[in-house]
């Protein structure tokens, strides 16, 4: 398989006579962009090269003809096309290289724009469209990514590219190569339903979406899947702009909403007409009422869709969504992903119900021997979906279809079991999940009712053989010989333990999983989840001991389970990179499963937030099918935060709050994003909600408020706003009962607030009490060192630094060293601080939003060695 480096080397050779390719500077759904040197004219240019699979599906002559039409556009707000061509299989076009940022980058960094700036940029975009439309060219993909900023002005890029692709490929080819004709968030209703008669008014609609986002910081329609967004464009009314930003003038709001009318005939009928209104709004008088609108107060666009028509729209949207770019859509069902559904009990005896789940678990365990050929969905993920992770579940009567959608599995194994005399009879079928077609089935297998392991073992071997033969006939030669599953009682205990773990009952999980091992000492797989349960209970010594014992056990572990144990053990020992590698390898073996959630967190902990988001993209977390664990949202929200993608972080936080309502951690994710964005109004609302919640899961309202205050200082220097926020924390502290306030956690919470607020004398008194009572807690000693350093008391700070250097506690994993780094930072010893930070990270302290926004490291902000250490590595 060719690598990206191979492709780039091939491209360099193909274009060597005209362009010297220097480096890749961007990529998208249709093309990769390279910075290059135009050898003929001695200038820097941007060379856009179509994706190879797309280029292979196109007719080069027709594509290049469409690009030539766009190249004839000559306008100050249109980025021109210098050149285009085909070279050794590559289709490319060449544009000027603009060093400025895209409008997407500006929005990601700043959020909503000042009204005047938004109007000015919209005017430039519409001016470009008016020129193009007069030439008969429709853009079809207006979005912030395709608007470049040059000084105070906007340049529209990629004119004609979407049309060029659509004109030379049919729907079938589009499905094959995975090309999106337009971007879901900006597509007009007629594009969403694949109307063949799309004209320039689709661009007018996209301008409305763009304007809405410039003014509010968000597009008018959001959804967790492209299909949901497309459906919203067709069936839902956008909220008034002023719901999100009251300061937007009424005339400007009406202009944007008229662009967003569902029917093209109800929108502005030309870019020229729209341009005139924008120019009027941009004049010093400002905010005039558009001449083609009736001055109604803050209305929504008007339309009604009959129920039957709405149903037809949903079908049309579902059809066109197939053409979405893979990374922008819910992945299609993959035939190599296999999900095993618990077998149906047809015996008439409810006491035999557990056999269905146990058989599915053992069949899945057998399929794990085929990783690399197929991708079995781990049985614990199936159980989570059936049981419901966050209040939802897969309905029993729809479990087959629901599990396929939830896991992306294109192949489903299901079956039933019966009683024949003294025998238990099992039979399984293999189905194509896309259409329900039966691909294969096993002959019935039998074994004693009192010992179902005999029949289950036989069924496992036959199902494994069927799937091996289907996907790789040679694999049949390496299928293990018949292997009996563990005893019925051990399987029952294991299933009960997994259920308890899914419910968060770690003590109950350990009890049942230990019982499974007692009943069948060869069943070492039961230990894997027990290790996680011990970690969840805060018992790392027990978890490490069991992990070592499990890896040394003479019993067999599948490669997948072995990697899971290695991941857990590395984390316990502070080797975060080894833990990440093991988790990533395990995640690559099977789709979904708890190891993916662990891999997301592990990627963040080693400062690889982009890889965390890539891993999350392979998961299927549809609404109503159980949602996701809380640490899934923690991982991806943290990844976005580290990358300064705070709008995306806010969307993740909102989804987390939908799946886990009323929890402090999910509220903390949104508070962190809002504070980073400087959205004080909404932040105040969230803090008000926070104050009404009780401490839980190790979080208090004080923790959430301190996060907000720290982010305000880090991102905006909002010292006054930060202090005002901290005073809300004092309100919460004062509302606590005397017993709560005097508890260890109550005093620690207040002491941290005082420390962040600069009330060092009061903070020192509390931390000194805590350090004397709880000498094993390194944080109390560390804060005392931080207070000394903040005061400039070098003698005391150095004394505490030495105490921290020799501080010994099991599983401390570098926390003491990180406190020494904070003290060095506050004392101005920048080189020493960075060296200690690097040492602490190597000992097991993980990267994360808290570390990136730690006010104790403010003296290091902007210091190159520190910035390089904190720069995301992947």
For the beta carbon of residue 120, count every other beta carbon within 10 angstroms: 17
- pLDDT confidence of residue 480: 44
Whether residue 641 is contained in a domain is answered as no
Q: What local confidence, expressed as pLDDT, does residue 709 receive?
A: 86
Q: Which helix (H) or strand (E) holds 43?
A: strand 43-50
Of 485 and 632, the one with more pLDDT: 632
Say what the pLDDT of residue 192 is: 80
Question: Would you state the pLDDT for residue 751?
Answer: 92
Helix ranges restricted to H, 44-151:
52-57, 60-71, 103-110, 115-134
Least confident of 96-105, 194-203, 295-304, 690-699: 295-304
Using a cut of 0.75, tell me whether the model's pTM lies above it. no
* Residue 171 in this model has a pLDDT that exceeds 80: no
Per-residue H/E/C for 735-757:
HCCHHHHHCHHHHHHHHHHHHHC
Q: What is the pLDDT of residue 614?
A: 86
pLDDT digits (tens, 9 = 90+) for 501-550: 767 788 999 999 999 888 888 778 788 889 988 988 889 999 999 999 88
Q: What is the pLDDT of residue 179?
A: 39
Cα–Cα distance for residue pair 555/436, rounded to 1 Å: 38
Does the pLDDT of residue 473 top 80, yes or no? no
- Asked whether 736 and 746 are in contact (CB, 8 A), the reply is yes
147 with 274, same domain: the answer is yes
pLDDT at 309: 41
Confidence of residue 296 (pLDDT cuts 50, 70, 90): very low
Residue 675 to residue 769: CA distance in whole angstroms: 32
Domain shared by 229 and 137, yes or no? yes
Taking only the tens place, the pLDDT of each residue in 177-186 is 333 345 788 9
Distance in angstroms (rounded) separating the CA atoms of residues 127 and 275: 6
- For residue range 430-443, list pLDDT tens digits in order: 988 887 788 888 88
Q: What is the pLDDT of residue 830?
A: 95
Task: Supply the pLDDT for residue 768.
Answer: 95
598 has a pLDDT exceeding 60: yes
Number of helices and strands in the chain (H, E): 41, 14
Instruction: List, as one string, the DSSP characters of 417-439.
Output: EEEETTEEEEEEEEEETTT--EE
- pLDDT band of residue 328 (cuts 50, 70, 90) is very low
Answer yes or no: do 497 and 535 share one domain.
Answer: yes
Cα separation of 526 and 165, whole Å?
A: 53
Residue 622 falls inside a structural domain: yes
Which among 95, 284, 320, 303 is positioned nearest to 195, based on CA atoms?
A: 320
Instruction: Work out the angle at residue 106's Cα, subtended by the Cα atoms of residues 208 and 269, and round it to the nearest 5 degrees.
Output: 15
Mean pLDDT of the 594-615 span: 88
Residues 427 and 500 in one domain: no
Q: Which of 514, 539, 555 is the last residue of a domain?
A: 555
**C-alpha–C-alpha distance, residues 164 and 58, integer Å:** 10
Asked whether residue 411 falls in the same domain as residue 444, the answer is: yes
The SS3 of residue 111 is coil
Examine the domain organization and report whether 216 and 365 are in the same domain: no
Same domain assignment for residues 759 and 861? yes
Range of the domain at 792: 650-870
Residue that the structure tokens 């069948």 belong to: 520
- How much is the average pLDDT of 334-358? 87
pLDDT at residue number 859? 93
Whether residues 711 and 672 share a domain: the answer is yes
Can you spell out the DSSP letters for 620-670? ---TTTT---HHHHHHHHHHHHHTT-HHHHHHHHHHHHHHSTT-HHHHHHH
Last residue of a domain, one of 470, 485, 500: 485
Q: Is residue 637 part of a domain?
A: no
For the cut 50, the answer to whether the pLDDT of residue 58 exceeds it is yes
Q: Is 681 exposed, middle or buried (0-12, 13-18, 19+ CB in 10 A)?
A: exposed
Q: What is the pLDDT of residues 376-418, one digit of tens each?
A: 888 877 877 776 543 333 434 345 777 787 778 889 998 999 9
Residue 252, pLDDT > 90, answer yes
Above 80 in pLDDT, residue 563? Answer: yes
Residue 262 has pLDDT above 80, yes or no: yes
Q: How far apart are CA 506 and CA 334, in angstroms?
A: 34
Q: Which CATH number does the domain housing residue 86 bear? A: 3.30.200.20
The pLDDT of 789-795, averaged and rounded, is: 95
Burial zone of 233 (CB within 10 Å; 0-12 exposed, 13-18 middle, 19+ buried) = buried
Q: Quote the CA–CA distance of 199 and 191 in Å, as a whole number.
A: 10
**Which CATH number fits the domain that encloses residue 549?**
1.25.40.10
CA diameter of the chain: 92
Q: Which of 220-224, 240-244, 567-571, 842-846 has the lowest mean pLDDT?
A: 220-224
* Residues facing residue 447 across a β-bridge: 424
- Quote the CA–CA distance of 504 and 65 in Å, as a whole number: 61
Q: Tell me how far apart the alpha carbons of residues 657 and 649 are, in angstroms, rounded to a whole number.
A: 12
Are both 300 and 350 inside the same structural domain? no
Same-domain status, 693 and 735 = yes
Look at residue 659 in the predicted model and tell me its pLDDT.
79
Q: Are 215 and 256 in contact (CB under 8 A)?
A: yes
CA pair distance 685, 790, nearest whole angstrom = 33
Active site residue 141: yes
Higher pLDDT among residues 206 and 162, named by residue: 206
- Residue 136, Ramachandran bin (φ over 0: left; ψ between -120 and 50: alpha; else beta): left
CATH of the domain at 422: 3.40.50.10610
The DSSP secondary-structure symbol of 36 reads E
Specify whether the CB–CB gap between 49 and 14 falls below 8 A.
no
Q: Could you tell me if residue 635 is inside a domain? A: no
- Confidence band, pLDDT 50/70/90 cuts, at residue 874: confident
CA atoms of 230 and 172, how far apart (whole Å): 20
For residues 415 and 292, what is the distance between their CA atoms, to the nearest angstrom?
64
* Residue 122: both structure tokens together: 């919209």
Reported as a pLDDT band with limits 50, 70 and 90, residue 238 is very high
The better pLDDT of the pair 688, 306 is held by: 688
> Does the residue 441 lie in any domain?
yes
Assign 457 a pLDDT band (cuts: 50, 70, 90): confident
Phi, psi torsion values for 778, nearest 5 degrees:
-70, -25
- The DSSP element (H or E) to which 85 belongs, if any, is strand 83-87
Give whichever of 377-381, 476-480, 618-622 has the largest mean pLDDT: 377-381
Reported residue count of the chain is: 874
- How many percent of the chain have pLDDT more than 70? 82
Q: CA 367 to CA 375: how far, in whole Å? A: 8
Of the pLDDT bands very low, low, confident and very high (cuts 50, 70, 90), residue 864 is very high
Interatomic CA distance for residues 429 and 415, integer angstroms: 6
Average pLDDT over residues 142-170: 75
pLDDT band of residue 67 (cuts 50, 70, 90) is: confident
Residue 636 located in a structural domain:
no
Grouping H, G, I as helix, E, B as strand and the rest as coil, residue 840 is helix
Rounded Cα gap, residues 410 and 376, in angstroms: 11
Distance between CA atoms of 157 and 142, rounded to whole angstroms?
9
User: What's the confidence (pLDDT) of residue 590?
Assistant: 66
Residue 87 pLDDT more than 50? Answer: yes
Comparing 444-448, 585-589, 700-704, the range with the smallest average pLDDT is 585-589
Q: How confident is the model at residue 832 (pLDDT cuts 50, 70, 90)?
A: very high
Residue 823 pLDDT greater than 70, yes or no: yes
Would you say residue 643 lies in a domain?
A: no
Domain stop point among 296, 326, 356: 326
Higher pLDDT: 453 or 685? It is 685
725-770 residue pLDDT tens: 888 889 888 888 888 889 998 999 999 999 999 999 999 999 999 9
**pLDDT of amino acid 821:** 95
Report the CATH number at residue 737. Answer: 1.25.40
Evaluate if residue 255 carries a pLDDT over 70: yes
Query: Is residue 274 within 8 Å of residue 204, measured between CB atoms?
Result: yes
* Burial (CB count <10 Å: 0-12, 13-18, 19+), residue 551: middle
Identify the residue with better confidence: 122 or 312. 122
Helix, strand or coil for residue 791?
Answer: helix
Give SS3 for 413.
strand
Position with higher pLDDT, 2 vs 290: 2
State percent of the chain over pLDDT 90: 29
Residue 633: inside a domain:
no
Q: Which of 38, 124, 127, 141 is catalytic?
A: 141
DSSP symbols for 485-521: PPPHHHHHHHHHHHHHHHTT-HHHHHHHHHHHHHH-T
* pLDDT at residue number 620: 54
Mean pLDDT, range 309-331, rounded to an integer: 40
Work out how many domains the chain is built from and give that number: 6
Clarify whether residues 732 and 774 are in a common domain: yes
When the pLDDT of each residue in the chain is averaged and rounded to a whole number, the result is 81
Same domain, 297 and 423: no
């Amino acid at each position: 398989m060719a690598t990206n480096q191979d492709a780039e080397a091939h491209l360099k050779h193909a274009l060597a006579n005209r362009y010297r390719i220097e480096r890749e500077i961007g990529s998208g759904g249709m093309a990769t962009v390279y910075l290059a040197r135009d050898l003929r004219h001695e200038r820097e240019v941007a060379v856009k090269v179509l994706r190879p699979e797309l280029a292979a599906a196109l007719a080069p002559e027709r594509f290049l003809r469409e690009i030539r039409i766009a190249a004839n556009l000559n306008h100050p707000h249109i980025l021109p096309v210098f050149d285009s061509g085909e070279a050794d299989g590559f289709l490319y076009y060449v544009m000027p290289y603009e060093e400025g940022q895209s409008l997407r980058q500006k929005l990601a960094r700043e959020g909503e724009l000042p009204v005047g700036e938004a109007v000015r940029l919209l005017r430039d975009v519409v001016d470009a469209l008016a020129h193009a439309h007069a030439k008969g060219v429709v853009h079809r993909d207006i979005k912030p990514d395709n608007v470049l900023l040059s000084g105070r002005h906007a340049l529209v890029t990629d004119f004609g590219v979407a049309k060029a692709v659509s004109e030379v490929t049919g729907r079938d080819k589009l499905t094959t190569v995975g090309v999106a004709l337009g971007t879901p968030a900006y597509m007009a209703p007629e594009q969403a339903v694949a109307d063949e008669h799309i004209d320039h008014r689709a661009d007018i609609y996209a301008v409305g979406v763009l304007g809405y986002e410039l003014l509010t910081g968000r597009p008018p329609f959001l959804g967790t899947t492209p299909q949901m967004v497309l459906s919203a464009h067709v069936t839902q009314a956008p909220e008034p702009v002023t719901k999100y930003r009251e300061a937007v003038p009424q005339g400007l709001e009406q202009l944007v909403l008229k662009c967003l009318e569902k029917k093209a005939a109800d929108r502005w009928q030309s870019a020229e007409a729209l341009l005139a209104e924008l120019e009027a709004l941009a004049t010093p008088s400002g905010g005039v009422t558009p001449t083609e609108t009736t001055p109604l107060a803050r209305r929504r666009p008007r339309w009604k869709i009959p129920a039957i028509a709405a149903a037809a729209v949903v079908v049309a949207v579902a059809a066109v969504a197939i053409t979405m770019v893979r990374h922008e859509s819910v992945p299609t069902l993959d035939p190599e992903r296999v999900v095993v559904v618990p077998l149906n009990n047809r015996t008439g005896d409810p006491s035999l119900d557990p056999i269905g789940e146990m058989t599915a678990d053992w069949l899945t365990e057998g399929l794990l021997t085929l990783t690399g050929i197929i991708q079995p969905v781990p049985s614990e993920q199936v159980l989570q979906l059936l049981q419901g992770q966050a209040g939802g579940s897969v309905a029993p009567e729809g479990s087959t279809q629901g599990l396929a959608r939830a896991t992306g599995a294109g192949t489903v194994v299901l079956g039933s079991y019966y009683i024949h005399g003294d025998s238990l009879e099992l039979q399984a079928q293999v189905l194509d999940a896309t259409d329900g077609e039966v691909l294969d089935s096993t002959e019935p297998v039998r074994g004693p009712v009192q010992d179902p392991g005999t029949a289950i073992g036989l069924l496992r071997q036959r199902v494994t053989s069927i799937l091996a033969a289907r996907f790789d006939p040679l694999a049949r030669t390496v299928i293990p010989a018949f292997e009996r599953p563990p005893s019925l009682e051990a399987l029952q205990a294991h299933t009960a333990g997994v259920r308890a773990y899914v419910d968060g009952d770690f003590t109950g999980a350990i009890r049942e999983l230990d019982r499974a091992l007692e009943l069948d000492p060869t069943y070492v797989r039961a230990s894997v989840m027990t290790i996680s349960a011990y970690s969840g209970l805060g018992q790392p010594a027990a978890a490490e001991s069991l992990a070592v014992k499990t890896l040394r056990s003479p019993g067999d572990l599948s490669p997948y389970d072995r990697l899971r144990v290695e991941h857990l053990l590395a984390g316990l020992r502070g080797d975060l990179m080894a833990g990440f590698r093991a988790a990533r390898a395990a995640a690559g073996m099977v789709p979904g499963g708890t190891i993916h959630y662990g891999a997301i967190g592990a990627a963040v902990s080693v400062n690889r937030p982009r890889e965390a988001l890539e891993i999350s993209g392979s998961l299927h977390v549809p609404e109503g099918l159980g949602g996701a664990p809380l640490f899934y949202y923690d991982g991806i929200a943290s990844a976005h935060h580290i990358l300064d993608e705070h709008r995306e972080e806010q969307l993740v936080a909102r989804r987390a709050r939908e799946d886990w309502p009323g929890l402090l951690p999910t509220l903390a994710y949104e508070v962190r994003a809002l504070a980073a964005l400087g959205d004080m109004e909404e932040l105040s609302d969230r803090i008000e909600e926070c104050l009404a919640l009780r401490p839980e899961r190790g979080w208090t309202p004080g923790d959430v408020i301190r996060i907000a205050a720290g982010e305000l200082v880090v991102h905006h220097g909002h010292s006054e706003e930060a202090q005002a926020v901290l005073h809300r924390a004092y309100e919460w502290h004062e509302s606590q009962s005397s017993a709560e306030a005097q508890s260890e956690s109550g005093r620690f919470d207040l002491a941290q607030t005082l420390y962040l607020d600069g009330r060092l004398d009061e903070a020192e008194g509390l931390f000194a009490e805590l350090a004397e009572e709880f000498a094993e807690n390194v944080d109390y000693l560390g804060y005392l060192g931080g207070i000394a350093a903040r005061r400039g008391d070098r003698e005391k700070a150095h004394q505490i630094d030495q105490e921290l250097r020799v501080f010994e506690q099991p599983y401390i994993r570098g926390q003491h060293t990180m406190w020494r780094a904070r003290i060095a930072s506050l004392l101005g010893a920048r080189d020493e601080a960075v060296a200690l930070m690097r040492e602490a990270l190597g000992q097991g302290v993980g990267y994360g939003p808290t570390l990136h926004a730690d006010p104790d490291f403010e003296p290091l902000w902007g210091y190159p060695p520190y910035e390089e250490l904190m720069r995301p590595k992947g």
